[in-house]
A and B are shown apart, each in its own frame.
Chain A
């Protein structure tokens, strides 16, 4: 079964509004979570790395004020797309670094959520 869960699976929002996507590790505590973005027929693009209790590290070209990431607990990270525009419409995927002490990888494995489709109209 899934070890990382995202919610919502899909969301439609109006241009100019903000939308939040949640990412939860279900069976282990994830000190590190990652957020990716994927356009149709393209590969995943890493947006930011989220470490529990500290500020996220954003990849070059990703606006940190637009894509707010919060990793307030060891099982939850959130991505908030602020003032969304149609060009922000995409498939957003989170992942969590596995926990060897819980039998999830050896520390070099990340497990992905189901993804969240965002459509901005």
Chain B
């Protein structure tokens, strides 16, 4: 299973764009990259998932370079409610691989 490395914490201000980068040098060919958001005392919430290039949904964008050894979650115009822990997961649930392991996550603090 590919190990992920993220910054421990980040600070931002309301209205700014936040980019959180995750390193996963040992990503396997069939691994997907998934980002989750977690608020205190709640289960993680799915944000976005990608395999390569760029993925965008209504809340975030995910940029994946060609070598796939890293990925960047981009949150446009953050608000105070985006203060949370963000986890980058790399793995797959097929072909005999059946689990996703969480790394340490990035604590994002959004300030007024």
A residues in contact (CB < 8 Å) with B: 4, 6, 32, 34, 36, 43-46, 49, 51, 57, 91, 93, 95, 97, 105-115, 117
Q: Given contacts A95-B43, A108-B32, A115-B43, is CB(A49)–CB(B98) below 8 Å?
A: yes
Q: Quick check: B49 and A93 within 8 Å, CB to CB? A: no
Contact digits for B84-109, partner A, Cβ 8 Å, 1 yes 0 no? 00010001111000111111110000
- Which residues of A are found within 8 Å of B41, using beta-carbon distances? 91, 115, 117
Q: Are A110 and B93 in contact (CB under 8 A)?
A: yes
10 nearest A-B pairs in the assembled complex, by CB-CB distance = A112-B43, A44-B102, A108-B32, A115-B43, A43-B102, A93-B43, A112-B44, A108-B93, A113-B43, A114-B43
In the bound complex, residues from chain A placing their C-beta under 8 Å from that of B45 are 112
CB of B13 within 8 A of chain A?
no
Check A46/B99 contact, CB under 8 A, given A105-B49, A112-B44, A115-B42: yes
Using A108-B34, A108-B93, A110-B93 as known contacts, say yes or no to A43 and B103 having CB atoms under 8 A apart: yes
Partner pick for A110 among B42, B100, B105, CB 8 A cutoff: B100
Contacts of B98 in A (CB 8 A): 32, 49, 51, 57
A residues near B104, Cβ cutoff 8 Å: 43
Distance (whole angstroms) from the CB of B28 to the closest CB of chain A: 12
